[in-house]
């Protein structure tokens, strides 16, 4: 049994993603579930006008090559195969948001040529921001790991070597032995802490 129009309308209303059908022959939007209007803020008729040439007017100039690459992938894809892309789109207020779209072939001509696609579009701006924040944290960990491994570990290793050398030659006097024991114990603990930091900050 096919879902009713009322059911589909209700489904589109509760969904947080946009559903579209796009005409690849005429390069224009055929159907929009309405979420794109809410995400981008353009009146519905303007949104359809902007859809010409794959939304070139509102896609970030640095990202438009992704559209061209995706279209090529779709043309070579099989029925049911999903092609994904993530790029920036300009809202009506001038700000860009990140959107992720998943599309696949919807209709072919009798000779097998791709006529239209169906796609799902979702606002992933917060997700991209979180990803970038995580990448920065990872980079910071790499810097910490490097400094810990090279700038701090090296002098500590030198001190340990000197301590071992002094111990080999022997130490006179109880007070000197006490000071030496404290020094050796301290540098050993410091070395252990450095190793622990390396393990915690290890980034493959």
Tell me the pLDDT tens digit for each residue of 184-199: 787 787 777 777 777 7
The predicted-structure confidence for 13-48, as pLDDT tens digits, reads as follows 545 678 889 999 999 999 888 777 788 889 888 988
Give the separation between CA 163 and CA 181, rounded to whole angstroms: 10
Q: Which backbone phi and psi does 20 adopt, to 5 degrees?
A: -140, 155
Residues 83/75, Cβ–Cβ less than 8 Å: no
Contacts of 121 (CB under 8 A, 6+ apart): 17, 18, 19, 20, 35, 36, 39, 99, 100, 101
The predicted-structure confidence for 45-69, as pLDDT tens digits, reads as follows 898 898 888 899 999 999 999 999 9
């Amino acid at each position: 049994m096919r879902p009713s129009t009322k059911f589909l309308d209700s489904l589109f209303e509760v969904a947080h993603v946009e559903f579209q059908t796009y005409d690849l022959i005429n390069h224009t939007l055929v159907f929009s579930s309405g979420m794109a209007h809410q995400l981008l803020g353009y009146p519905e008729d303007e949104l359809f006008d902007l859809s010409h040439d794959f939304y070139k007017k509102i896609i970030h100039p640095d990202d438009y090559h992704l559209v061209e690459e995706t279209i090529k992938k779709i043309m070579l894809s099989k029925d049911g195969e999903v092609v994904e892309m993530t790029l920036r789109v300009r809202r009506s207020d001038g700000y860009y948001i990140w959107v992720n779209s998943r599309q696949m072939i919807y209709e072919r001509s009798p000779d097998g040529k791709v006529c239209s696609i169906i796609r799902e579009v979702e606002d992933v701006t917060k997700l991209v921001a979180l990803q970038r924040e995580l990448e920065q944290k990872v980079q910071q960990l790499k810097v910490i790991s490097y400094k810990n491994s090279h700038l701090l570990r090296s002098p500590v290793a030198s001190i340990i070597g000197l301590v071992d050398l002094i111990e080999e030659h022997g130490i006179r006097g109880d007070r000197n032995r006490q000071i030496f024991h404290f020094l050796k114990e301290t540098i050993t603990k410091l070395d252990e802490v450095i190793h622990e930091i390396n393990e915690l900050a290890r980034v493959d």
